[in-house]
Amino acid sequence: MSNELLTIDPVDLQFPFELKKQISCSLYLGNKTDNYVAFKVKTTNPKKYCVRPNTGVVHPRSSSEVLVTMQAQKEAPADMQCKDKFLLQCVVASPGATPKDVTHEMFSKEAGHRVEETKLRVVYVAPPRPPSPVREGSEEGSSPRASVSDNGNASDFTAAPRFSADRVDAQDNSSEARALVTRLTEEKNSAVQLNNRLQQELDQLKRESKRSQSGGGIPFMYVLLVGLIGLILGYIMKRT
């Protein structure tokens, strides 16, 4: 709700009612003019509420906060209904006015002052619900805590056996050994096949050499192949 001088928020003063507890509500006043505006807050039940500040000055194009505190109540009202009301009065003040310059006469209509008035209701609302309790150990990633049962002792719990981890390690080692043996066997078989193929080519070269050469010299390719076969056989013997 707003008048010609101030904007007022909220239009109703809402208090989350709780027995035997002080409750506060903020009231925001915005000056929408280029003048200094003096204000005064009144209530129908002054013993029940404390208003700070109850008088003051809002500077041009600025805002002020008023804190309304309800004293702790011993009994809840019927149907949670409240008949209390507040009255906000405001008037144009002299330039540069301060809260000390605010007087009772400034809000007197009989003296010819133009006073803006706004009525505010008091509304009781339900208090906020407390957060749901979180049980121990339910947080994600937390380690469960050792506890004692309602009908037993801590000695009833037995430590878990440790052989499971050792068995897993032994299985991993045996798997690596089998993989190594398989790889070496495959390499040996490949080398034997290569040796057989080279031996066949060597025999072919021997037959061709006998047909093409009448001299007793040993062909160069023959010597090269013999040396290559020796290297391969030596490699096979080292790996096995």
List the strands of the sheet with 36-43, edge to edge.
12-16, 116-125, 85-93, 36-43, 55-58
Q: Which residues of 82-116 are buried (b: 16+ CB within 10 A; e: fewer)?
A: bebebebbbbbbeeebeeeebeeebbeeeeeeebb
pLDDT, tens digit (0-9, with 9 covering 90-100), for 84-127: 999 999 999 999 999 999 999 999 998 889 999 999 999 998 88
Percent of the chain having pLDDT more than 90? Answer: 44
The pTM of the whole model exceeds 0.75: no
pLDDT, tens digit (0-9, with 9 covering 90-100), for 186-201: 888 877 787 788 788 7
Q: Is 104 helix (H, G, I), strand (E, B) or coil?
A: helix
- Whole-number Å distance between alpha carbons of 6 and 1: 9
- Whole-number Å distance between alpha carbons of 168 and 187: 29
Which of 107, 118, 123 lies closest to 25 in space, CA to CA?
Answer: 123
**pLDDT at res. 159:** 33
Sign of CA dihedral 236, 237, 239, 240: positive
Q: What is the mean pLDDT of residues 21-35?
A: 96
